[in-house]
Chains A and B, each alone.
Chain A
Amino acid sequence: MGSSFKQHSVIPGFGMTLGFTVFYLSLLVLIPLSALFLKTATMGWGAFWTTVTDPRVVASYKLTFGAALAGATINAVFGFVVAWTLVRYSFPGKGLIDAMVDLPFALPTAVSGIALTAIYSRNGWVGQWLEPLGIHVAFTPLGVGVALTFIGLPFVVRTLQPAIADLDPEYEEAAASLGAGRVQVFLRVICPGLLPALLTGFALAFARALGEYGSVVFISGNMPMRTEITPLLIISKLEQYDYAGATAIAVVMLLASFTILLGINTLQWRHVRRIHGRG
């Protein structure tokens, strides 16, 4: 541990804790994940490309991507309303409702999956009202969207809540006193202040939805080319002992979610810099 690597400190335990951290991290996370990339490297570019651009796989990207996007968008809209209501207004049962927002995190995904399927199937509580209108949810791409909306909701709400709480009412007041109407204040003052948090929440919900498996497989019906999500394809390749194929698709998914998270980090970094620059 050269002095250029670590600053001097009287606190003990640096070598032990850092050593254990790096050891455990490598053993459990880094080495297993590197196996993924090494396995892909043995495949050869041609085989890799054929696997990841197979029509059935491409159809699954479209569904996963589209449904994740739809779910994140619905959550951005309704999550905003929920977060706003929970921070700015008071009403009976608010504490309970606030706690309930985390339900999709706490409920095991398999449970969410079968519950949503039960509700939206033909005879389900919601399905029986939608069926006569010609809207089929269970076992259609719409069902995938519903499951991904469920799973992503807390991300948007929990990212927006602190941002809304931090909004300084003085800006709104100033705008109002200068003659802005409430709508104008909302669009010109509140929205720009919340945009980074909203985008972050949206991206987190989207990233989570891309990889989601448990809550989707039950409601989607898993029909090839129609309602098959990408994580499910990995599983079916594995079941056929096509390790290379499963790995190739996994690498594509991994790269997609890394890109999104990199985007989120850049967003947050720029936002933090702006705040510090300002104040």
Chain B
Amino acid sequence: MAGTVRLRVSPTKAPQAVRDPAWVRVLLIAITLLFLGLFLLLPLVSVFYEALRGGVRLYFASLINADAMTAVRLTLLTAGIAVPCNLVFGLAAAWALAKFEFRGKGTLITLIDLPFAVSPVVSGLVFVLLFGAGGWFGPWLTANNLHIIFAVPGVVLATMFVTFPFVARELIPLMQEQGSEEEQAALVLGAGGWKTFWHVTLPNIKWALLYGVILCNARAMGEFGAVSVVSGHIRGRTNTMPLHVEILYNEYNFQAAFAVASLLALLALVTLAAKTLVEWRVRANMGQDESAETPTPPGGGMTL
């Protein structure tokens, strides 16, 4: 096969020359399926298998349990605070960085990415250093009977820290690319700042915004390391769902641990589906020519 390719150069059938032989294709596809099956699919399936192993009744019994429900509620509360805060921040940061030219811009972008470079455990640790009993504000907090570490505020703070860059880093490259001509036109025609934002900017960035929110939310609900450090694992009070999974697991209550874990796995599947839909949507909007340009810049999707 290589022989014929070597002898004939036919510009019309260009892809032929760069196509891998059939056996290579089959082999590589087989390796891909085997590797992903072993490393990705098997763990996912095992979560549901272990959760439902003891029967459906036991499964639901371990979910409709006061501690499990509190964990679900705290997880929702945490994400409900962290995601909107980081959404507002992401919009503000992207507006400042994409619409204006000023000194120190590169540094600011690097600093926004900083939480991604920090291990989750270290992210939790910094808040213990600030607000823990032996921390900077520890004595003052104790004197005023305020609790941050080993309490809900600490969980929320740590989650906000680890999910900090998600929305911003989706929006900044997109808005930089889009420039500000449309906004300038709207302003020259007499629209106010907010009106311009709502009617010109927001429609242009809505998919990237949604994408960032989806990723931010998934991480906020699933964060384990950072939250583990600050929560104190108080059952029924400062346990988020991932922490509840850990407690149950360490108590050898595997079935219940996997039952709660299966809810988180469902969340992951919903996240992947939503993310894929947004990507398809954007690809369709951009047309066939730029189909390679998904809203995932290198680094965009790889930070969860």
Which A101-122 residues have a C-beta within 8 angstroms of B? Answer: 101-112, 114-116, 118-119
Looking at the assembled complex, report how far the CB atom of B209 sits from the nearest CB atom of chain A, in whole angstroms: 15
- CA distance in complex: A106, B18 (Å): 35
Q: Are B302 and A154 in contact (CB under 8 A)?
A: yes
Q: Are B228 and A10 in contact (CB under 8 A)?
A: no
Q: Are B120 and A211 in contact (CB under 8 A)?
A: yes
Which B70-103 residues have a C-beta within 8 angstroms of A? Answer: 85, 88-89, 92-93, 95-97, 99-103
A39's nearest neighbour on chain B, judged by CB, is: B129
Q: Are A13 and B95 in contact (CB under 8 A)?
A: yes
Known: A39-B129, A231-B121. A182 touches B20 (CB 8 A): yes
The answer to whether B134 has its CB under 8 Å from any CB of chain A is yes
- CA distance in complex: A278, B196 (Å): 39
CB < 8 Å: which of A5, A82, A126 contacts B103? Answer: A5
B48's nearest neighbour on chain A, judged by CB, is: A115
The answer to whether A150 has its CB under 8 Å from any CB of chain B is yes
The answer to whether A187 has its CB under 8 Å from any CB of chain B is no
CB < 8 Å: which of A25, A115, A173, A234 contacts B112? Answer: A25
Size band of the interface chain A makes with B: 35 or more
The answer to whether A135 has its CB under 8 Å from any CB of chain B is no
Looking at the assembled complex, report how far the CB atom of A90 sits from the nearest CB atom of chain B, in whole angstroms: 10
- CA distance in complex: A200, B25 (Å): 26
Pick 12 A–B contacts, CB within 8 A, sort by A.
Answer: A16-B92, A17-B92, A82-B36, A86-B32, A88-B20, A106-B304, A108-B242, A110-B243, A119-B43, A177-B6, A211-B119, A254-B119
Using CB atoms and an 8 Å cutoff, list the residues of chain B in contact with chain A: 2, 5-6, 9, 14-15, 17-18, 20-21, 24-25, 28-29, 31-33, 35-36, 38-44, 46-47, 50, 85, 88-89, 92-93, 95-97, 99-103, 108, 111-112, 114-115, 117-122, 125-130, 132, 134-136, 157, 160-161, 164, 180, 183-184, 187-188, 193, 197, 215, 218, 221-225, 228-229, 241-243, 245-246, 249, 254, 257-258, 261, 264-265, 267-269, 271-273, 275-276, 292, 296, 298-299, 301-304
Using CB atoms and an 8 Å cutoff, list the residues of chain A in contact with chain B: 4-7, 9-14, 16-18, 20-22, 24-25, 28-33, 35-36, 39, 78, 81-82, 84-86, 88-89, 91, 95, 97, 99-112, 114-116, 118-119, 124-126, 149-150, 153-155, 158-159, 162, 165-166, 169-170, 172-173, 176-177, 179, 181-182, 185, 197, 200, 204, 207, 210-214, 218, 231-232, 234-235, 238, 241, 243, 246-247, 250, 253-254, 257-258, 261, 268
